[in-house]
Amino acid sequence: MTGMSMFSYRPARDELAYTFGGRLPVAHVRSGEVFEVYTEDCFGGRVRGPADLPSLVCQAGQLNPVSGPFFVEGAEPGDTLAVHIVSIVPARGWGVSATFPYFGALTSTAHTATLQPPLDERVWVYDVDRAEGVVRYWASASDHLVELPLDPMIGTIGVAPAMEVRSTIVGDYYGGNLDTPELRAGSTLYLGVNVHGALLALGDGHARQGHGEACGVGVEIATVTTLAVELIKGVDTAWPRLETDAEIMSVGCARPLEDAYRMAQKDLTAWTVDLCGMQVLDAYQLLSQAARAPIGNVCDPNYTVLAAVEKDLLPRLHPPYGDVHARLRRLTATTAAGDTP
Q: What is the enclosing helix (H) or strand (E) of 260? A: helix 257-276
CB of 139 to its own copies, least distance (A): 4
* Phi and psi at residue 257, to the nearest 5°: -60, -30
Closer to its own copies at the Cβ: 5 or 289? 289
**Binding of its own copies by 8 (CB under 8 A):** no
The interface region with its own copies, picked from 44-52, 79-87, 275-283, 326-334 by CB under 8 A, is 275-283
Measured CA to CA, the distance from residue 74 to residue 30 in angstroms comes to 8
Q: How many CB atoms lie within 10 A of CB 114?
A: 9
Among 26, 57, 293, 331, binds its own copies (CB under 8 A): 293
Q: Contacting its own copies (CB under 8 A), which of 94, 103, 261, 321?
A: 261
Contact 268, 317 (CB under 8 A): no
CB of 237 to its own copies, least distance (A): 14
Interface region with its own copies, contact rule CB under 8 A, candidates 4-12, 120-128, 224-232, 325-333:
120-128
By rule CB under 8 A, what string of x and - marks binding of each residue 29-68 to its own copies? --------------------------------x-------
Contacting its own copies (CB under 8 A), which of 105, 224, 326, 331? 105
Q: Report how far residue 241's alpha carbon sits from residue 195's, in angstroms, rounded to the nearest whole number.
A: 18
Complex with its own copies: residue 227 or 295, whichever CB lies closer: 295
94 binds its own copies (CB under 8 A): no
Of 212, 240, 320, 341, the one binding its own copies by CB under 8 A: 212
Instruction: Please report how close the Cβ of residue 188 comes to its own copies at its closest, in angstroms.
Output: 22
- Tell me if 321 sits within 8 A of 238, measured CB to CB: no
In angstroms, give the least distance from the CB of 111 to its own copies: 5
| CA 12/CA 40 separation, integer angstroms | 10
Shortest Cβ 36–its own copies spacing (Å): 26
Residues of this chain, 134-193, that bind its own copies according to CB under 8 A: 135, 137, 139-142, 144-146, 148, 162-167
Beta-carbon contacts of 339 under 8 Å, excluding residues fewer than 6 positions away, are 86, 87, 89, 185, 226
CB contact at 8 A, 8 and 58: no
Annotate 275-317 with DSSP letters as a single string.
Answer: HH---HHHHHHHHHHH-B--EEESSSSSEEEEEEEEGGGSTTP
Q: Around Cβ 6, how many Cβ atoms within 10 Å? A: 12
Tell which one of 200, 295, 328, 336 touches its own copies (CB under 8 A): 295
Q: How far is the CB of 216 from its own copies (least distance, A)?
A: 8
Q: What kind and span of H or E run contains 87?
A: strand 80-90
